[in-house]
A = this chain, B = another copy of it.
Amino acid sequence: MNRLGVAIVGCGLIGQKRAQALGDAARLVVCADVAKDRAERLAASAPGCTAVTDWTVAVNDPAVSVVLVATLHDSLAEITRGAIEAGKHVLVEKPAARNAAELAGLAELAAQKGVLVRVGFNHRYHRALQKAYAIVQSGDLGPLMFLRARYGHGGRVGYDREWRADPAKSGGGELIDQGPHLIDLARWFLGDFAEVDGFAATYYWDMPVDDNGFLLLKTASRQVAFLHASCTEWKNTFSFEIYGRDGKLDISGLGGSYGVERLTYYKMLPEMGPPETTSWEYPMADNSWRVEFAEFVEDIRLGRQPAAGLGDAVAALAIIDKIYKVSGYDHHA
């Protein structure tokens, strides 16, 4: 089989991770970054790969079938649009834009151009979340009642001087950084949210964007997602808890400084009392990037809409937009 030609736009940490996760079905043909040396370093890792500073060159390269967009938030939507217009499939990193408005019309454009757009909600592809999703799909947990999740890190010296602290580049703070993963996972399990409440605040870091976001989301049938994202969490934390009528799933850790990835399944017994308790740990390296991209390759082969697409990004951003508004942040101005 011909390996898909891939362009990576944005050759920072995430672009590099993507390059390593292409698998056998794709090959890196062009790297684009405004910093020439970054593009060149990444290009050097793949035989025959070229380096450019102008992303329009990359997305229009005839050898390219798929564009991976891993830039700062302020150009995610624009480059995605450019790639679609060039007739390329796109994997754009979350949040895919600084706000929902930036994505207006993109889904229609992609449909018209006959290309697929996947949004990089890679957390869905972590082993523990994949297994949790399978358990929920099997019906063993019964109908879902609510979710509770927290995700956070402790920043680092100078965090408030980085690009994430500049709303023109980032579109916001913690809520648009780690928040989209929480919102997307919640929607993956519960579906769309009909009511959105919450609050974003800047407690610690000296920056005009939020460092904490609290969300109380409800589906039309009043299932709650109770979510908190923080970059003043001090001890890196990921916890995602799913409650069904017949049991509970508790996912914690994402590997590395977030602790070993683990899924615990509490299965209620007819006599109630302490549940049957089984845990699965995943001490091995995170393979979510590889699995996600392999699924995208398969999407392309089958002409199948990606599981996580533009609609999911728009839905997450609409929630974030609303919380920013009610909390007094106006990053659109």
Partner pick for A248 among B156, B234, B279, B284, CB 8 A cutoff: B234
A-B CB contact pairs (8 Å), 16 listed: A148-B228, A154-B273, A156-B273, A157-B271, A197-B199, A199-B218, A201-B224, A212-B224, A233-B243, A234-B275, A235-B248, A235-B277, A273-B284, A277-B282, A278-B278, A279-B280
Minimum Cβ distance to chain B for residue A323 (Å): 11
User: A272 CA to B271 CA in the complex, in Å?
Assistant: 37
Residues of B with C-beta under 8 A to A222: 201
CB under 8 Å from chain B, chain A span 196-238: 197-199, 201, 203-204, 212, 214, 216, 218, 222, 224, 226, 228, 230, 232-235
Closest to A223 in B: B203
- Point out the residues of chain B lying under 8 angstroms from A275, CB to CB: 154, 234-235, 283
**Contact between B146 and A212, CB atoms less than 8 A apart:** yes
CA distance A243 to B233 in the complex (A): 8
- Residue of A218, A234, A284 with most chain B CB atoms under a 10 A cut-off: A234
Q: Which residues of A contact B (CB under 8 A)?
A: 145-146, 148, 150, 154-157, 197-199, 201, 203-204, 212, 214, 216, 218, 222, 224, 226, 228, 230, 232-235, 243, 245, 247-248, 250, 257, 266, 268, 271-275, 277-284
Q: Which of A224, A266, A268, A277 has the most CB of B within 10 A?
A: A277
* Contact (A281, B277) CB under 8 Å given A216-B214, A224-B199, A234-B243: yes
Cβ-defined contact, A266 with B234, below 8 A: yes
Which 6 A-B pairs rank lowest in CB-CB distance, beginning with the nearest? A274-B283, A277-B281, A279-B279, A145-B203, A234-B248, A274-B284
Q: Is the Cβ of B145 less than 8 Å from the Cβ of A212? A: yes
Contacts of A271 in B (CB 8 A): 157
B224–A226 CB distance below 8 A: no
* B-chain residues with CB within 8 Å of residue A218 when the two chains form the complex: 199
- Tell me which residues across on chain B come within 8 A of A204, comparing CB atoms: 145, 245
Which of B214, B232, B233, B272 sits near A226, CB closer than 8 Å? B214
A257 CA to B155 CA, complexed, in Å: 24
Q: Which residues of B contact A157 (CB under 8 A)?
A: 271-272
Give A275 to B260 CA distance when docked, in angstroms.
Answer: 13
